[in-house]
Structure 1
């Protein structure tokens, strides 16, 4: 059995684009990514073949998923199906921390 223990504080934040940073960890079949979204960041509609589960750690995010709008705050979860266009916008002045889980793994993340 190959077990890895990771300390999030030792993983550096990686700039994704202005207003968006990420730190990520991958196993052989899944990726966990912590995103920090700043108020006023530029949302970018996109889709990918990976199913995604997003958990909001802090702040509030307005998700647009497949033509539907969902307001999600701390403790909230959303499931984003594979190949469905989606994006998020920060609501208010507080940065959003959201934890994303992808399967299969996202090798371009970590």
Structure 2
């Protein structure tokens, strides 16, 4: 089945300047992200119980995972283990387009989902603590 990202409804985004579109199957989900060069990144790490693969399709994406910082360019792939602290921290001068594959699927990203948000932020950064 072909996914036409232009026909997929945008889902919530962690930052202004990024558009995220979501698709899911029974075993894995994928988010297509388009981020403008002017997008603001706070660098806040988060984690979730899903392993995640990030595939950059255009531009440059800066990331952290646990204590490692790295940049991904077109065609490069990063693996983020389940429950690892990670964050997107910036994009290159032309922005970035990338795919985030998550297993099990991120059902919390479905529009009007009743599944609780899977993201966890460090305790000292939580507003509700």
Q: Secondary structure at the match of 2:107?
A: coil
**Structure 1, unaligned runs of 5 or more:** none
Answer 1 or 2: which has greater helix percent: 2
Within the candidate set 9, 14, 17, 2:11 is matched to 14
Q: Secondary structure at the match of 1:18?
A: coil
Q: Which aligned segments of 4 or more residues in structure 1 are displaced greater than 6 angstroms?
A: none
Q: Give the structure 2 partner of residue 102 of structure 1.
A: 102
Aligned residues: 107
Q: Secondary structure at the match of 2:105?
A: coil
Whether 2:24 is the aligned partner of 1:26: answer yes
Higher relative contact order (CA 8 A, sep 6+): 1
1:35-74 → structure 2 map (5 Å cutoff): 35-39=33-37, 40-42=39-41, 43-74=43-74
TM-score with structure 2 length normalisation? 0.74
Cα distance, 1:28–1:37 mapped onto 2, change above 3 Å: same
**Structure 2, unaligned runs of 5 or more:** 111-129
Contact 1:37-1:90 at 8 Å conserved across structures:
no
TM-score with structure 1 length normalisation? 0.86
